[in-house]
A and B are shown apart, each in its own frame.
Chain A
Amino acid sequence: WHQGKGKTLPSVVCRPGRQQSTGPSEPGAFQPPPKSVIVDKRCLPGQETRFLSPEFIPPRGRTDPLKFKLERKEMLERRKVLCIPELYVGSILRVTTADLYASGKTSQFLGICIQRSGSGLGATFILRNTIERQGVEICFELYNPRVQEIQVVKLEKRLDDGLLYLRDALPEYSTFDVNMKPVSLEAGQEVPVNKLKVKMEPRPWSKRWERPKFNIKGIGFDLHLTEEQMKEAQKWSQPWLEFDMMREHDTSKIEAEIWEEIQASKNS
């Protein structure tokens, strides 16, 4: 589209330089396509997905609840500045951080989230990717001020809460294209669960993933273990754990309080 300087229109002032896109001047005139604005729908104030990030829920202990309230206040203030999207273990993220020793002073890393740990301001998540056939894991802090952007490239869940077994899996399951385009979901759709069964390297593994304490459903064990080995692993099962009443911890009241605090901070 060249500059329409030569056009002579009867009722329009001839403007020097590039023709500004100030709306249609004539019914037949060319209108350039509207600039596509990429808006992260999950961070819009109108969208309410009712997802409470797990680092808001305080761990069990004898700490004064005032300390958790102060921490949550800081976390909510930070969330007003930086949009932290809802992320699950198994989703692919791209994180941009400020780096003093990188050219352009920023560095980007894309990877699959394998673990989310910590609570409060020190909450972290580990991203894993394979770069030039070398597996790389980086642990990022959610509330670190050097983190400039967290973009969810693909939002999905896996069958497990922790994907640390990807370290012993074939490298193809940890390789993701660094220039992947974001895959968008329609609003209102539930988060898809990827029921992928991962193939592993030959044993020995870094941990005995077949044991019931890890409770892993995302590995295809029949390709690597015999029935006898699976039965052997069940010897370490602790079936009384699900009936242990001391381990029961109902967080519904705490979650309700936290939701009220979030609403109050959004309104203020």
Chain B
Amino acid sequence: MRGWRLLTQAGAQVLGRSSGSLSAALPPPSGNRTNICLRGKNGTWWDEHLSEENVPFVKQLVSNEDKVQLASKLCPLQDEPWPIQPWEPGSSRVGLIALKLGMMPLWTKDGQKHVVTLLQVQDCHVVKYTSKENHNGKMAALHAGGKTASRFQLGLLPKQKVQIFRVTDNAVIKPGPPLYAAHFRPGQYVDVTGKTIGKGVEGIMKRWGFKGQPATHGQTKTHRRPGAISTGDVARVWPGTKMPGRMGNVARTTYGLKVWRINTKLNIIYVNGSVPGHKNGLVKVRDSKLPAFKDFCKNLPFPTYFPDRDEEELPEDLYDKNVWQSSEPSITFA
């Protein structure tokens, strides 16, 4: 298999190097085989030739550089941004990339309990702009990047996830400024896309929801099997028949999730219900495309929320009008 071949190649490289340079020092014990295959063809890792004192120094240096770079992008006014255009019916704006933190209960003022997912926006920046013609001819596209990742893990941009948002021409933003959670407001509806939790190979009852067979009444070794897979006349199995196989680890979207609350200080969005993906996974959040919520963004910050440009400071917590807050007294039905 291809994987085994890579491993043997990497192994041969290690052995070749160590036998060739007998006088040189052996690689540090952290340089095991798995590290080498992840680095690709050059077969080295970032701290191979650094001495022990220099490793923390380089780490500190790089993280300081990253912080300075991020901080310089925080003020888009210095960058001569593009003019902000007003909202028109039919325009769509950028979305965000957020991290799924977990889930929590939330109560409304009439005593109903709802469950919300917390999505935290960490270092979301607009990375690239592609005009209508370059992209696909219909709409312009903005690339937004998610969580900042370590420079040494990837060879590309230090962003863990980059997603494309199809945007109308009046909502384009010059690449650079960060996007905040206040881009969304409580009471609006969003669509959230994420990669579902991978379950590996699963049977048809879990994967496709088949009913299976009864547990008793004479069933011989048949409790979770599909039964018949095709008719007799066709004399073959239709392509695309539902069968066991790999389930999960696929991008899926949940539509029409209501935003209950936004924490502007920590950049957290509280979204109704559940969201595809595991905890600490990255998801793409954008305004809902459902026809019921068309043209919802007329009251929302367009093209996005710029903290230094707006006149008034937003409070730390923004709530939907129906949400019961913990500092309020207990609910009574008078």
- Contact, CB under 8 Å: A77 / B327: yes
The residue from B113, B280, B325, B327 contacting A62, defined by CB atoms under 8 A apart: B280
Number of interface residues of A (CB under 8 A): 30
The residue from A66, A74, A105 contacting B101, defined by CB atoms under 8 A apart: A66
How many Å from the CB of A106 to the closest CB on chain B? Answer: 8
- Contact, CB under 8 Å: A146 / B327: no
Q: Scoring B residues 317 to 334 as 1 if CB is less than 8 Å from chain A, else 0, what string do you get? A: 000000011111111111
Question: Given known contacts A120-B104, A121-B104, A121-B105, is B328 in contact with A66 (CB within 8 Å)?
Answer: no
The answer to whether the Cβ of B266 comes within 8 Å of any Cβ in the partner chain is yes
**Bound Cα distance A11, B116 (Å):** 68
Residues of B within 8 A of A141 (CB): 105, 113
The residue from A75, A122, A143, A146 contacting B331, defined by CB atoms under 8 A apart: A146
The residue from B99, B101, B330 contacting A82, defined by CB atoms under 8 A apart: B330
- Contact, CB under 8 Å: B331 / A78: no
**Bound Cα distance A146, B108 (Å):** 10
Residues of A within 8 A of B333 (CB): 98-100, 105
Which A85-107 residues have C-beta < 8 A from chain B? 98-100, 105-106
Which B92-106 residues have C-beta < 8 A from chain A? 99, 101-102, 104-105
The answer to whether the Cβ of B107 comes within 8 Å of any Cβ in the partner chain is yes
The answer to whether the Cβ of B143 comes within 8 Å of any Cβ in the partner chain is no
The residue from A105, A121, A147 contacting B330, defined by CB atoms under 8 A apart: A147
Residues of A within 8 A of B332 (CB): 98, 105-106, 148
- Contact, CB under 8 Å: B327 / A145: no
Question: Given known contacts A120-B104, A122-B105, is B279 in contact with A98 (CB within 8 Å)?
Answer: no
How many Å from the CB of A55 to the closest CB on chain B? Answer: 12
Residues of A within 8 A of B268 (CB): 70
- Contact, CB under 8 Å: B279 / A146: no
The answer to whether the Cβ of B40 comes within 8 Å of any Cβ in the partner chain is no
- Contact, CB under 8 Å: A81 / B280: no
Residues of B within 8 A of A66 (CB): 101, 120, 266
Q: Scoring B residues 297 to 334 as 1 if CB is less than 8 Å from chain A, else 0, what string do you get? A: 00000000000000000000000000011111111111
The answer to whether the Cβ of B118 comes within 8 Å of any Cβ in the partner chain is yes
The residue from B101, B263, B327, B330 contacting A64, defined by CB atoms under 8 A apart: B101
The answer to whether the Cβ of A161 comes within 8 Å of any Cβ in the partner chain is no
The residue from B118, B325, B334 contacting A67, defined by CB atoms under 8 A apart: B118
The answer to whether the Cβ of A251 comes within 8 Å of any Cβ in the partner chain is no
Which B113-130 residues have C-beta < 8 A from chain A? 113, 118, 120
- Contact, CB under 8 Å: A77 / B111: no
**Bound Cα distance A62, B330 (Å):** 33
Smallest CB-CB separation from A145: which chain B residue? B331
The residue from B102, B105, B111 contacting A98, defined by CB atoms under 8 A apart: B111
- Contact, CB under 8 Å: B330 / A67: no
**Bound Cα distance A66, B332 (Å):** 32
Smallest CB-CB separation from B270: which chain A residue? A70
**Bound Cα distance A122, B280 (Å):** 21
How many Å from the CB of B35 to the closest CB on chain A? Answer: 22
- Contact, CB under 8 Å: A81 / B101: no
Number of cross-chain contacts by CB at 8 Å: 74
Question: Given known contacts A77-B326, A146-B331, A148-B330, is B105 in contact with A63 (CB within 8 Å)?
Answer: no
How many Å from the CB of A226 to the closest CB on chain B? Answer: 32
- Contact, CB under 8 Å: A81 / B330: yes
Residues of B within 8 A of A147 (CB): 330
Residues of A within 8 A of B104 (CB): 67, 70-71, 120-122
How many Å from the CB of A41 to the closest CB on chain B? Answer: 22
How many Å from the CB of A77 to the closest CB on chain B? Answer: 4
**Bound Cα distance A66, B104 (Å):** 13
Residues of B within 8 A of A64 (CB): 99, 101-102, 120, 279-280
Q: Scoring B residues 143 to 154 as 1 if CB is less than 8 Å from chain A, else 0, what string do you get? A: 000000000000
Which A181-217 residues have C-beta < 8 A from chain B? none
**Bound Cα distance A99, B334 (Å):** 10
Smallest CB-CB separation from A71: which chain B residue? B104
Smallest CB-CB separation from A65: which chain B residue? B101
- Contact, CB under 8 Å: A98 / B327: no
**Bound Cα distance A13, B330 (Å):** 45
- Contact, CB under 8 Å: B330 / A70: no
Smallest CB-CB separation from A77: which chain B residue? B326
Q: Scoring A residues 143 to 187 as 1 if CB is less than 8 Å from chain B, else 0, what string do you get? A: 111111000000000000000000000000000000000000000
Q: Scoring A residues 101 to 125 as 1 if CB is less than 8 Å from chain B, else 0, what string do you get? A: 0000110000000000000111000
- Contact, CB under 8 Å: B118 / A70: yes
How many Å from the CB of B111 to the closest CB on chain A? Answer: 5
- Contact, CB under 8 Å: B111 / A74: no
Between A and B, 19 residue pairs with Cβ closer than 8 Å are A62-B279, A63-B279, A64-B102, A64-B120, A66-B266, A70-B118, A80-B327, A81-B328, A98-B111, A98-B331, A105-B332, A105-B333, A105-B334, A122-B105, A141-B113, A143-B105, A146-B111, A148-B330, A148-B332
Closest 5 CB pairs of A and B: A77-B326, A78-B326, A67-B102, A67-B101, A145-B331
With A81-B330, A148-B330 given, can you name 18 additional A-B contacts, CB distance below 8 Å? Answer: A63-B101, A63-B280, A64-B279, A66-B101, A74-B326, A75-B326, A77-B327, A81-B326, A81-B329, A98-B331, A105-B332, A105-B334, A106-B332, A122-B104, A143-B105, A144-B107, A145-B331, A146-B331
Using a CB–CB cutoff of 8 Å, the interface residues on chain A facing chain B are 61-64, 66-67, 70-71, 74-75, 77-78, 80-82, 98-100, 105-106, 120-122, 141, 143-148
